[in-house]
């Protein structure tokens, strides 16, 4: 089409005009093609993705950039950032040599990895399982020869997806050559979705941030361990260090002998709504405050420093729309954590034991139960302090090193169940550290860079073999202690 045009244009100047029009329309056609291509490229920052149909939220706005700049960025970050790879020749990165002696036992709660994967222990995880789970997933992760390939289906709220993918990329950095090939589906919204009753004939393996005893969803560390820039929560190791330091600066006797909660009650959480009723210092021993993230953001988050919230002897944890990332910060204070019996569990909360690391609060008699805990603690200060300290120690054990170890073992155990060889799908796009940074805005970049992982000098902790009885007796013990506390409450009345 181009060649005859050029020839006719050369022959006579009167053909020049059609030539120019032809050229312009070709250019327009090309730009149109680029535009339509760009409008289809889905990105880890959320471009061209709709919210999940099972949990609608406002779509993110990218209109701070011009259309052209956005197109350039999408193409640049998606296609020209990760080093060129020929997957048929790239060798798996060589394993670092670790002295076996330096490996320690994983924390006991890592046993839940076996528990979570038990539904597939006999059938294995087939390609069909994975493709069925796709119907509930926001994205698909394939790790192949130490590289990560992503298929994106739906957007995730705020920067969750970016920070979750970043976490996986850091795992690859931390244990080069050790993370096995894997093909998994991930949903990033709050509530578990694979109901055990409805999916009993074919359990679907779906990763997300929490689960319940009635769901097959597989819990995985949430994005906030690497940071949550929208509400100014920094990477976990930084937050923990600061919270612990501030909490140490105030002795137990000088902490307020009251229970404290500050959060957003408007998240369709019946328990948080009810908690507002307990806001009475003398009557219920509780201070309940509303967190307005919009206002906090305007004030530069000065009023919401997590470490400033440790001035109380008792800190309440209440679930939100599902589990809440606030749990780890609340327990880190070293105050006595009053946990309102949760329905949802994340990967680590299952390791907490009532009256050892926290105090269990009954959801049905909420204010009375809080009041009972506060009175008990004020009468038994050394016991209350010891439980608070045990909680803080538990969170200290959950360092980023252990978070990576959990991810490592979960992915490794999952991969052992796959009865197929994972390969990147034809639509999968490689994502690497540089491409995530390329998409990140200034603030996100700061948070991401601060949570960079380096190759581990020691191997991952040693995972105990599967032992169903261990989990069973663990859950029974937990239940017994909670019943003891309920009995204590009844006696008081
Ligand atoms: C990748 O490497 C293989 C083996 O050396 C070679 O046959 C193949 O042509 C390469 N592919 C590309 C796209 O360069
Ligand atoms: C699971 O599904 C069953 C049957 O539809 C329903 O009765 C039950 O409430 C569901 N469970 C949860 C936790 O949603
Ligand atoms: C709880 O009570 C305090 C003091 O009376 C008040 O300042 C605060 O706004 C109340 N909290 C809520 C959520 O209403």
DSSP letter string, 435-451: HHHHH--HHHHHHHHHT
Task: Count Cβ atoms below 10 Å from residue 430 Cβ, excluding itself.
Answer: 20
DSSP code per residue over 186-225: E--SSS---BTTTTSSS----EES-B-TTB--EE---GGG
Please tell me the number of the ligand nearest to residue 89's CA.
1
Residue nearest ligand 1's atom 11 by CA: 86
What is the residue-level pLDDT of the chain in tens, covering all 493 positions?
444 445 444 455 567 778 888 888 888 888 888 888 888 999 999 999 999 999 988 888 876 678 888 899 999 999 999 976 555 555 556 677 776 556 799 999 999 999 999 999 999 999 999 999 999 999 999 999 999 999 999 999 999 999 999 999 999 999 999 999 999 999 999 999 999 999 999 999 999 999 999 999 999 999 999 999 999 999 999 999 999 999 999 999 999 999 999 999 988 889 999 999 999 999 999 999 998 877 777 777 766 677 778 999 999 999 999 999 999 999 999 999 999 999 999 999 999 999 999 999 999 999 999 999 999 999 999 999 999 999 999 999 999 999 999 999 999 999 999 999 999 999 999 999 999 999 999 999 999 999 999 999 999 999 999 998 999 999 999 999 999 999 999 997 6
Residues with CB under 6 A from ligand 1: 86, 88-89
In the numeric block, which tokens belong to residue 52?
A: 């999940």
Q: Tell me if 437 sits within 8 A of 100, measured CB to CB.
A: no
CA angle in degrees (0–180, nearest 5) for 315-492-310: 10
Asked whether the CA dihedral 440, 81, 89, 91 is positive or negative, the reply is negative
Structure tokens at 176: 């080069």
**DSSP class of 84:** P
How far is residue 356's CA from residue 23's CA, in Å, rounded to a whole number?
Answer: 76
Spell 49-80 as b/e; 16+ CB within 10 A means b.
bebbeebeeeeeeeeeeeeeebbebbeebbee
Domain residue extents for the chain: 1-38, 100-220+400-462, 236-392
Ligand 3 atom 7, closest CA:
289
Index of the ligand 1 atom closest to the CA of residue 89 = 2
pTM value is 0.91
Residues with CB under 6 A from ligand 2: 195, 197-198, 214
Nearest ligand 2 atom to alpha carbon 196: 1
For the CA of 287, the nearest atom of ligand 3? 1
CA atoms within 13 A on the CB side of 328: 26
Q: Which of 136, 197, 214 for mutating ligand 2's site (highest number of atoms within 8 Å of CB)? A: 197
* Cα 298 off chain centre by: 25
Q: Which of 273, 277, 279 to mutate to test the pocket of ligand 3 (most atoms within 8 A of CB)?
A: 279
* Closest atom of ligand 3 relative to the 279 alpha carbon: 1
Per the CB < 8 A criterion, the answer to whether 182 and 193 are in contact is no
Assign 401 to helix, strand or coil: helix
Q: Candidates 3.40.1360.10, 3.40.50.920, 3.30.590.10, 3.40.50.2000; correct CATH number of 236-392? A: 3.40.50.2000
Residue 392 belongs to what H/E stretch? helix 381-397
- What do you get for the CA distance between the two ends of the chain, in Å? 91
Instruction: Give me 171's structure tokens.
Output: 């795992």
Bridge partners, 196 (sequence order): none
């Amino acid at each position: 089409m181009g060649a005859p045009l050029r020839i006719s244009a050369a022959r006579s100047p009167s053909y020049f005009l059609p030539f120019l029009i032809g050229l312009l329309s070709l250019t327009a056609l090309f730009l149109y093609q680029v535009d339509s291509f760009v409008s289809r490229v889905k990105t880890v920052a959320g471009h061209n993705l709709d919210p999940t149909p099972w949990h609608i939220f406002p779509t993110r706005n990218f209109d701070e950039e011009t259309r052209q700049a956005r197109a350039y960025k999408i193409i640049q970050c998606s296609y020209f950032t990760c080093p060129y790879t020929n997957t048929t020749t790239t060798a798996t990165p060589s394993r670092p040599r670790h002295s076996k002696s330096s490996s320690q036992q994983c924390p006991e709660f890592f046993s839940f990895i076996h528990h979570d994967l038990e539904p597939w222990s006999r059938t294995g995880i087939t390609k069909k399982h994975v493709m069925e789970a796709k119907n509930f997933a926001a994205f698909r992760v394939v790790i192949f020869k130490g590289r990560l390939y992503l298929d994106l289906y739906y957007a995730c709220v705020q920067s969750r997806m970016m920070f979750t993918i970043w976490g996986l990329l850091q795992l690859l950095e931390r244990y080069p050559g050790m993370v096995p090939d894997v093909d998994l589906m991930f949903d990033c919204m709050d509530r578990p979705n694979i109901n055990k009753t409805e999916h009993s004939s074919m359990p679907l393996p779906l990763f997300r941030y929490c689960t319940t005893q009635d769901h097959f969803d597989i819990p995985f560390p949430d994005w906030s361990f690497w940071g949550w820039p929208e509400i100014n929560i920094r990477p976990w190791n930084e937050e923990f260090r600061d919270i612990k330091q501030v909490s140490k600066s105030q002795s137990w006797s000088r902490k307020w002998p009251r229970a404290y909660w500050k959060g957003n009650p408007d998240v369709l959480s019946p328990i948080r709504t009810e908690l507002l009723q307990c806001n009475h210092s003398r009557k219920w021993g509780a201070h309940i405050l509303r967190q307005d993230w919009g206002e906090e953001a305007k004030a530069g988050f000065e009023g919401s420093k997590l470490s400033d919230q440790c001035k109380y002897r008792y800190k309440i944890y209440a679930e939100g729309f599902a589990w809440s990332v606030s749990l780890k910060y609340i327990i880190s204070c070293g105050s006595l954590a009053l946990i309102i019996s949760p329905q949802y569990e994340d990967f680590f909360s299952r390791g907490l034991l009532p009256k050892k690391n926290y105090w269990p609060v009954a959801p049905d008699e909420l204010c009375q139960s809080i009041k009972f805990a506060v009175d008990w603690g004020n009468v038994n200060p050394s016991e209350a302090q010891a439980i608070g300290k045990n909680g803080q120690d538990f969170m200290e054990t959950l360092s980023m090193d252990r978070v990576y170890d959990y991810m490592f073992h979960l992915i490794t155990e999952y991969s052992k169940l796959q009865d197929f060889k994972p390969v990147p799908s034809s639509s999968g796009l490689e994502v690497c550290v540089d491409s995530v940074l390329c998409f990140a805005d200034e603030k996100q970049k700061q948070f991401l860079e601060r949570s960079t992982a380096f190759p581990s000098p020691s191997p991952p902790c040693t995972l105990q073999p599967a032992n169903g009885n261990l989990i069973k007796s663990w859950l029974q013990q937990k239940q017994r202690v909670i019943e003891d506390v309920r009995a204590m409450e009844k006696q008081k009345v």
